Amino acid sequence: MNHKYIYLLPWLALFLAGSVFAGNPDRQGEAGANQLLVNPWARSAGLHTMGTANITGVEAMFLNVAGLSRITKTQIQLSHARYLVGSEVNLNAFGFGQRIGKGGTFGISLVAFDLGDFDYTTEDVPEGSGATFSPSFFNMGISYAHLFANKVSVGITFKFVNEGVSNARASAMALDAGVQYVTGDKDKFKFGISLRNVGTKMRFQGEGLSKPLPNPGPTFDYNNTYYERSSAYELPSQLNIGLSNDWFLGNISKLTFMLNFTSNAFSRDQIGGGLEFGMGQNFALRAGYKYEFDAAPGSTEATLDNGFSGGLSVSLPVKKGSDTRISLDYAYRTTEIFQGIHNIGLRLDL
């Protein structure tokens, strides 16, 4: 590709995203698979998932896959989230990124919900028989990102989404795409766009939707098994547009300011900003605030994905002078119900 044209990619992506994404407010609240909007990764959660412009590494596969291209060589990440403390809902995630060729990066991510055990009830035993079941919420992504001349990076993720119980299940395929643009002295200004969760509809199917009903016959009655057809539902598509700017404080420290706008196809739009203070590669402290339009925080109409957030990271080399680093990330997000959301993650950079 001729490098003089790659700087036009962010603006082309913005035009295409705006043209394709045009949401319909009449459909708000009709999507399912909202697990796709819950961030399991601690670094980006500390900024309330608003780093569209400057997110990097494995967890970029959640928000803006273009940032995956900016790992040094290999990155492995594990994360655990306590979602709405008191609800006993947990998330576990695994991510892997590997540089390949010149400018390319391959990645894979796995995210699973642990919803706990539920009592198994039926029409005949409404109080439960003592048996339990555990719903399964799971998604897997395979990603590729490419970096052009250290200025423009683009990426794409193919995702498999699955939700189900023992006798009914729904699945879908989805696509994420993103672009990041870097410019200025020391690459201090960044701009990013990502389009997420564009895919097929989901519909529950399985033996759980079957029911035996009597079928009268000429000599005797017998039962036939009938299958109910469930309604299909859309994935929660989302468009993110963000920018960030770095202020360098001395030789190793910097302060990063970021703004982010999120357009949700099936819920209200959001806007927010955040600050991140970094001391070289060893320490980072971050905080953010996200506002949801037309729904004041604390109202019953607001979603959980707004309000204040904060987090920190500590990173150390495995041994002195080594490029291999191990890092610990933590984030907390406030919620009006229950006791907030905690994320903790472990990273290994090789």
Residue that has been written with the tokens 């959301």 in this structure: 341
* Domain residue extents for the chain: 3-210+236-349
Q: Encoding tokens for residue 239?
A: 């468009």
Contact in structure between 37 and 267 (CB atoms under 8 Å): no
What's the pLDDT band for 21 if we cut at 50, 70, 90? very low
As a whole number, mean pLDDT of residues 221-250 equals 89
Residue range 3-210+236-349 in CATH 3.40.50.150: no
| 196 bridge partner residues | 238
Measure CA 323 to chain center.
28
Question: Which of 66-75, 278-287, 319-328 is least confident?
Answer: 319-328
pTM: predicted TM-score of the whole model, two decimal places: 0.88
Q: CA 73 to CA 242: how far, in whole Å? A: 26
Q: CA 159 to CA 87: how far, in whole Å? A: 27
pLDDT tens across 165-191, in order?
Answer: 988 999 999 999 999 999 988 899 999
Q: Which residues contact 255 (CB under 8 A, 6 or more apart)?
A: 246, 247, 249, 275, 276, 277, 278
Of residues 138 and 213, more confidence is placed in 138
Of residues 56 and 226, more confidence is placed in 56
Is residue 19 predicted with pLDDT exceeding 50? no
As a whole number, mean pLDDT of residues 269-286 equals 95
Longest distance between any two alpha carbons in the chain, whole Å: 93
Report the pLDDT value the prediction gives residue 20, as an integer from 0 to 100: 45
pLDDT tens across 192-209, in order?
Answer: 999 999 999 999 999 888
Is residue 63 predicted with pLDDT exceeding 60? yes
Is residue 8 predicted with pLDDT exceeding 70? no
Report the pLDDT value the prediction gives residue 164, as an integer from 0 to 100: 93
Is residue 18 predicted with pLDDT exceeding 70? no
